[in-house]
Amino acid sequence: MKHIYFTALFAGMTLLLQAQACLPDSTLVDSSAGVYPKPITESNPNGGINKKACINKPYEFTFTVVVPDTVEIPILPAPIPLEKVAIDTAGAISNLPEGLSYRCNPPNCVFNKNQIGCLLLNGTPTDVNAPGEYKPIIKLKLTVNVGISFDYTTEYPGSAFPGEYILTLISEQDCASANLSSFDDTNYWYPNPISGPFLNNRSNAENIRIFDASGKLLLDQQSLRNGLLVLPDRMLPGVYWIHSSINGYPSVQKIVVLH
Domain co-membership, 141 together with 41: yes
pLDDT reported for residue 100: 97
Domain co-membership, 164 together with 113: yes
| pLDDT, mean of residues 36-58 | 86
Q: Per-residue pLDDT tens for 87-131?
A: 999 999 999 999 999 999 999 999 999 988 999 999 999 999 999
Q: What share of the chain is helix, strand, coil (3-state, %, to 5)?
A: 10, 45, 45
Question: Considering 175, 206, 223, which residue would you say is the last residue of a domain?
Answer: 175
Alpha-carbon distance of 156 to 73, in angstroms, equals: 11
Question: Hey, is 148 helix, strand or coil?
Answer: coil
Q: Are 141 and 86 in contact (CB under 8 A)?
A: yes
pLDDT reported for residue 20: 58
Burial class (CB in 10 A: 0-12, 13-18, 19+), 109: buried
CATH number, domain at 112?
A: 2.60.40.10
Residue 25 within any structural domain of the chain: no
Q: Are 241 and 211 in contact (CB under 8 A)?
A: yes
| Listed range (45-59, 68-82, 127-141, 144-158) with the worst mean pLDDT | 68-82
Higher pLDDT, 27 or 133: 133
Which of 153, 133, 152, 154 has its CA nearest to residue 144?
A: 152
Domain co-membership, 171 together with 190: no
Question: Considering 175, 192, 222, which residue would you say is the last residue of a domain?
Answer: 175
- Element spanning 141, H or E: strand 137-145
Instruction: Name 223's bridge partners.
Output: 206
Other residues' Cβ atoms within 10 Å of the Cβ of residue 199: 14
CATH number, domain at 189?
A: 2.60.40
Domain co-membership, 57 together with 169: yes
Q: Per-residue pLDDT tens for 203-234?
A: 567 888 888 766 678 888 888 877 788 888 77
pLDDT reported for residue 3: 46
Total tally of structural domains belonging to the chain: 2
Residue 204 within any structural domain of the chain: yes
Output phi, psi for 221, to 5 deg: -130, 135
Residue 143 clears pLDDT 90, i.e. is over it: yes
Residue 26 within any structural domain of the chain: no
Residue 121 within any structural domain of the chain: yes
Which of 158, 172, 185 has its CA nearest to residue 246?
A: 185
Question: Considering 127, 154, 175, which residue would you say is the last residue of a domain?
Answer: 175
pLDDT reported for residue 183: 43
Residue 233 within any structural domain of the chain: yes
* Bridge-based pairing state of the strands 167-170 and 53-54: parallel
Which of 48, 51, 22, 71 has its CA nearest to residue 157?
A: 48
pLDDT reported for residue 214: 64
Domain co-membership, 10 together with 50: no
Instruction: Name 123's bridge partners.
Output: 59, 100
Q: Considering the chain, what is the average pLDDT of its residues?
A: 80
Segments forming the whole domain that contains residue 200: 2-17+183-257
Q: What is the DSSP letter of 14?
A: H
Q: Per-residue pLDDT tens for 3-40?
A: 444 444 444 444 444 455 788 887 787 778 788 888 98
Residue 198 within any structural domain of the chain: yes
Domain co-membership, 65 together with 84: yes
Which of 158-167, 188-197, 209-218 reaches the highest mean pLDDT? Answer: 158-167
Domain co-membership, 85 together with 116: yes
Domain co-membership, 109 together with 169: yes
Residues with Cβ within 8 Å of residue 109, at least 6 apart in sequence: 86, 87, 88, 89, 92, 119
